[in-house]
């Protein structure tokens, strides 16, 4: 049974900015977002000092969830503060259960929907996010870190910085050694492909490193070990940046998932596609409907298109499969 969606009280003007920021975070997490209060929130952010307080508290949520109430003002209004944080904790739990998309928005600094986007990182590095991808950026005096929350990203790392550049995903780390490389996270684990230079990969932060050169690939699952994968020509790595979706011996269900990330409507798979032969294809990500049609013709799928761009994908009957 789903928990009830919490409601969040508006911040009080008499509260310090940090506590107001927590109240706004609880409201954003509650799922009760509406346009008038969003305008109030934007006006609150515009006040000097408020955005900095909000970003600090948001960082705590991203890393820890709702932090414990430990600030020095706790003794002054313990009842209301405890109630506020109890509400925030309930909002966080409900967000994880009811609205993982909203939880992702709260954690992410940059995210994409059905388009590809280039992001300039604070050190001059570039990150190209594929469709349906999200990252959180965590830079400090001692590190340059990017958390890959969803999807896949290609990085071109700016050299000449003393801090290491790391991509964190599913408990593991990919560390740059002057490179251009791509990292993907998903249900099948984390996968790294090196286009230029060298990276090193660890499935756990205290595990040993696996070193990769240009054209080399590796993957790991959460808590597992790094496994080398077949090499790939460097010019085929992250081809989606140029609008190409290259499918090499790809399971049909995975091919559908990859095309779906570029579609505006929902994509539903009906039945089991695992018995179908893997496919090889070169498709255009800027033409996702034609790409899905081409996959259906190749793999013997039936597509049922519905209003609002939704589509149902299933195995076709023998009569519907393409002639061999």
Domain with CATH 3.55.50.30 in the chain: 243-315
* pLDDT at residue 323, rounded to an integer: 42
Average pLDDT value for the chain: 82
Higher pLDDT, 308 or 9: 308
Domain with CATH 2.60.120.1440 in the chain: 110-236
Tokens found for residue 135: 């990252």
pLDDT tens across 93-119, in order? 444 444 556 667 777 889 999 999 999
Q: What letters, b where the CB count within 10 A reaches 16 and e where it falls short, cover 75-109?
A: eeeeeebeebbebbbbbbebbeebbeebbeebbbb
pLDDT band at 188 (very low <50, low <70, confident <90, very high): confident
pLDDT band at 10 (very low <50, low <70, confident <90, very high): low
pLDDT tens across 128-147, in order? 999 999 999 999 888 899 99
Tokens found for residue 85: 């944080």
| Residue where the block lists tokens 């919490």 | 6
* pLDDT at residue 182, rounded to an integer: 96
Minimum mean pLDDT range among 39-43, 96-100, 267-271: 96-100
CA dihedral 58, 63, 69, 73 (to 10 degrees): -50
Q: Tell me which architecture the domain covering 110-236 has in CATH.
A: Sandwich (2.60)
pLDDT tens across 45-90, in order? 888 888 778 777 776 665 555 444 334 344 444 455 555 555 555 5
pLDDT tens across 216-262, in order? 999 999 989 999 999 999 989 999 999 999 999 999 999 999 999 99
* pLDDT at residue 257, rounded to an integer: 94
Q: Tell me which architecture the domain covering 243-315 has in CATH.
A: 3-Layer(bab) Sandwich (3.55)
């Amino acid at each position: 049974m789903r928990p009830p969606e919490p409601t969040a009280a508006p911040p009080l003007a008499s509260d310090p900015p940090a506590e107001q920021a927590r109240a706004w975070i609880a409201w954003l997490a509650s799922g009760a977002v509406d346009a008038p209060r969003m305008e109030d929130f934007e006006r609150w952010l515009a006040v000097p000092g408020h955005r900095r307080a909000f970003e600090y508290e948001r960082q705590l949520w991203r890393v820890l969830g709702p932090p414990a109430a430990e600030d020095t003002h706790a003794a002054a209004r313990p009842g209301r503060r405890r109630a506020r944080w109890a509400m925030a904790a309930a909002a966080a739990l409900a967000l994880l259960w009811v609205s993982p998309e909203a939880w992702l928005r709260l954690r992410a600094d940059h995210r994409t929907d059905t388009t590809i986007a280039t992001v300039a990182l604070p050190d001059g590095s570039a990150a190209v996010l594929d469709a349906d991808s999200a990252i959180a950026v965590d830079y400090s005096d001692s590190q340059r870190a990017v958390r890959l929350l969803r999807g896949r990203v290609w990085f071109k790392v700016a050299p000449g910085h003393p801090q290491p550049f790391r991509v964190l995903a599913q408990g593991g780390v990919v560390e740059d050694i002057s490179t251009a490389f791509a990292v993907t996270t998903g249900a099948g684990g984390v996968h790294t492909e090196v286009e230029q230079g060298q990276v090193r990969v660890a499935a756990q932060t205290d595990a040993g490193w696996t070193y990769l050169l240009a054209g080399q690939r590796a993957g790991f699952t959460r808590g597992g070990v790094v496994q080398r994968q077949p090499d790939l020509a460097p010019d085929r790595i992250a081809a989606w940046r140029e609008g190409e979706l290259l499918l090499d011996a790809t399971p049909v269900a995975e091919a559908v998932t990859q095309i779906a990330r570029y579609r505006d409507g929902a994509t539903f798979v009906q039945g089991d596609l695992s018995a179908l032969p893997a496919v090889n294809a070169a498709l255009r990500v800027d033409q996702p409907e034609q790409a899905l049609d081409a996959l259906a013709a190749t793999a013997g799928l039936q597509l049922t298109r519905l209003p609002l761009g939704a589509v149902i994908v299933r195995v076709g009957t023998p009569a519907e499969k393409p002639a061999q």
